[in-house]
Chain A
Amino acid sequence: MAIDDPRLRELEEKNALLETRVKHLTNDLHLTREENEASLVRYLDIHTNLEKKVAERTAELARTNQTLQNEILERRRAETRLQQSQKMKAIGTLAGGIAHDFNNILAAIMGYTEMSLMDTDEASSVHRRLTNVLKATNRAKELIHQILTFSRQNDPEIRPMAPLPIIKETIKMMRASLPATVEIRQRIPASSAMIMADPDHIHQILMNLCTNASQAMAKNGGTLELRMTEVDFDTETAHRDQDLLPGKYLKLTVADTGRGMDRAELEQIFDPYFTTKQTVDGDGSGLGLSVVHGIIHSHGGTIAVNSELGTGTTVDVFFPIIEPAKTDPAAVKTPIPLGRERILFVDDEQALADVGLQMLQRLGYHVVPRTSSVEALEAFRAHPDRFDLVVTDQTMPNMTGTELAREIHRIRPDIPIILCTGFSEKFPGELGPGIGIDDFLFKPIALRDFADTIRRVLDQPHISMTS
């Protein structure tokens, strides 16, 4: 039964509209929820990507940071090295200064001792004792020379030399400084083999190697062995083993039974400032093997180190042997040459002026001593013809020896001049040509050197100076 009521139809229409509206909203809501879920997945995806990027950047930063840390560490090491080398330089300068003064003291000791020796009977016990004083003085002179060599870093004087005496000398020195727990064994055959080297360097190398060896045995003691052998490398061996030119080599071996080194340490031993000792500030042993390495290679030689942890270390050093030169047959005892010429002797140190005066007088010369270059110049200017020779110190206040020489030559160009220098001063050859010096003497001056040089200069055919 259909009821056709417009109000009912209107209500039905409204109802249908509302129902549709509800359906629409429900569906929309459902889809929106789905979409939101999908969005969430996408955001998570974006988030993951971002996190990945953050992780990547963090890792990159960590790497950069590590690099930086390494650089800082490297920088600190370099700073330590720089400080160390500055300290070494300061010590060198200080040592040089002390050595210079000490050298002058030695000159006086040597001079008086030599004169005393001449005054005493060779058979007497006093003579024997004085001879020992002179020997000790000579050793002191060597020591001073070493200190000055170290502080001056002078150019090496590479010349043909027989290393045997130096090696013996070094062993003697080492023996004194080694602890009682270290035994020294040496197999050094008598050899006249000659090598091209600076004696100071050979000494330095051996000291260094022996010091290392004894330090390696400091804790438990052991045996320090020194060997010297001659080896002949044929082409193959030379190249394979040591990268050397074929030929004859002098092989010096320093072996210890100390703590030894592991592979990692062995790889670093030629690095500057490497040490197996605990580095306590101020205990830096310095350049060590790096310098040894450099010296040996500059001599055309090489160095080989073998070591085993707990067993010991063996260092082999090779120097090319040169054909033995004819040994100088001179230098045998000839009487000390004397003379009666008039000498102007200048040294600003009273003690040295005194000893010089007495030495020259003993040699028979007439001496006018002066303790200042200005006074010496005045004395010369007053009577230029009264002198046959001028012997002057180099380092003096107001006027140096070379300046004095120039002034004296201005007055009398033909007067011969001998210049005395200490080790710490400039090498005479560095003073330049044409300075008008006839010869040089190195302080402390031995009596024989003094006598020989003076005689040689006075006896040479004199060439008039025109400068």
Chain B
Amino acid sequence: MNAENDRPAAMDAIFEQLDQSDIASIKGVVSGVLQIISDPTSTAKNLKEIVEIDPPLTARVLFLANSAHYAPRIKILDIMQAIIFVGFDAIKELALSQKVANIFQNGATVGGYSSEALWKHCLATALFTKMIYRREFRERGDNAYACGLLHDIGIIALQQFMPEVFYRILKTAEAENIALTAAEKAALGFDHADLGRAITEYWNFPEDIVQAIGAHHAPGQDPSRLAQTLFIADTVTRGNELGYESRPAVEKALFQTCLNELNINHQAVALVLADVQKEIANMETQGMLSYGNR
């Protein structure tokens, strides 16, 4: 598949700036961690090498690994120790989330939107998606977690590469009480889901992640389980003050269809949501939602 040829011409202005941007800086670590997720034979040494190549990230991960949230028995001084005492999976998630958190910085607050709020939403979506995978599908859900973290990368790209256009779209959506995606489509010809798909595809991220991100507002024809789960997670978190958009233009029917197809009852959604809210609240108290390395 040739990503560049399929890409709408309207995105050219964004892709011209992408490679030199802060957003591109997460590509290395994120794809490294995604590779570890996809390879069951990957070792602690592989993970250590991926994290340690990024000193600010390493410092951040070590700082958090030593925080009360993980409460290690000894003072952790390097990534290998962190892997041993905090856990391979915890460090993998921490590395991923902290790296991605890097790009959710600054930017103005417009209506219900701020990059901080967006980050909280992404984190909640990641946790929600992962928990559904674990609890409903009895699967690890590592990719689901990564997918949740990255699903709104299109919004960040819009905010960074064409801030004026983006803020105008936000205001329009609010004023006209329409979905953000609709306002984006009207103004640009594509929405942030399309842009997110284009970016992650350009970075050669796993296909299921790329497609799920592209479909997270409209899991259309023959959607994947990941796309449907992401859609549910995004919808639920936005509807429960875990997001930037307090008025979800949810198509109730679509939401119910996804739940039915995935065989998830509303009790499960309620239980998972409660746990996500608890976790996010806990992280907020621990200061783990404050941004990245700065």
List B residues 127-146 near A (Cβ within 8 Å): 134-140
The distance from the CB of A403 to the nearest CB of chain B, in whole angstroms, is: 82
User: Which B residues are CB-close (under 8 A) to A23?
Assistant: 135-136, 268
The residue of chain B having its C-beta at the shortest distance from the C-beta of A35 within the complex is: B89
Contact A17-B89, Cβ < 8 Å, known A23-B135, A27-B136, A42-B43? no
The residue of chain B having its C-beta at the shortest distance from the C-beta of A24 within the complex is: B135
Asked if A80 is at the interface (CB within 8 A of a chain B CB), the reply is: no
User: Which A residues are CB-close (under 8 A) to B136?
Assistant: 23-24, 27
Q: Which among A43-51, A248-256, A298-306, A334-342 touches the partner chain?
A: A43-51
Partner of B268, one of A24, A34, A38: A24
Q: Which among B5-13, B80-88, B235-243 touches the partner chain?
A: B80-88
Q: Mask for B81-101, Cβ within 8 A of A = 1, else 0? A: 001100111000000000000
Q: Mask for B181-193, Cβ within 8 A of A = 1, else 0? A: 0000000000000
Alpha-carbon distance A27/B131, docked complex (angstroms): 10
Alpha-carbon distance A38/B92, docked complex (angstroms): 14
List A residues 24-70 near B (Cβ within 8 Å): 24, 27-28, 30-31, 34-35, 38-39, 42-43, 45-46, 49
Interface size counted on chain A using CB atoms at 8 A: 21
List B residues 45-60 near A (Cβ within 8 Å): 45
The residue of chain A having its C-beta at the shortest distance from the C-beta of B264 within the complex is: A20
- A interface, by DSSP: helix, strand, loop or mixed? helix
The residue of chain B having its C-beta at the shortest distance from the C-beta of A43 within the complex is: B84
Partner of B135, one of A16, A27, A45: A27
Asked if B24 is at the interface (CB within 8 A of a chain A CB), the reply is: no
User: Which B residues are CB-close (under 8 A) to A19?
Assistant: 267
Alpha-carbon distance A1/B134, docked complex (angstroms): 37
User: Which A residues are CB-close (under 8 A) to B88?
Assistant: 38-39, 42
The residue of chain B having its C-beta at the shortest distance from the C-beta of A34 within the complex is: B140
Asked if A362 is at the interface (CB within 8 A of a chain B CB), the reply is: no
User: Which A residues are CB-close (under 8 A) to B272?
Assistant: 24
Asked if A9 is at the interface (CB within 8 A of a chain B CB), the reply is: no
Asked if A135 is at the interface (CB within 8 A of a chain B CB), the reply is: no
Alpha-carbon distance A43/B135, docked complex (angstroms): 26
Contact A27-B84, Cβ < 8 Å, known A17-B271, A21-B271, A42-B43? no
B89 and A24 contact, CB distance less than 8 A? no
The distance from the CB of A4 to the nearest CB of chain B, in whole angstroms, is: 20
Alpha-carbon distance A20/B272, docked complex (angstroms): 10
Instruction: Known A-B contacts: A24-B135, A28-B135, A31-B138. Give 12 more (CB < 8 A).
Output: A13-B267, A16-B267, A19-B267, A20-B271, A24-B268, A27-B135, A35-B140, A39-B88, A42-B88, A45-B43, A45-B45, A46-B44
A residues contacting B by CB (< 8 A) are 13, 16-17, 19-21, 23-24, 27-28, 30-31, 34-35, 38-39, 42-43, 45-46, 49
8 A–B pairs (Cβ distance < 8 Å), ordered by A: A13-B267, A17-B267, A21-B271, A24-B135, A24-B271, A27-B138, A30-B138, A35-B140
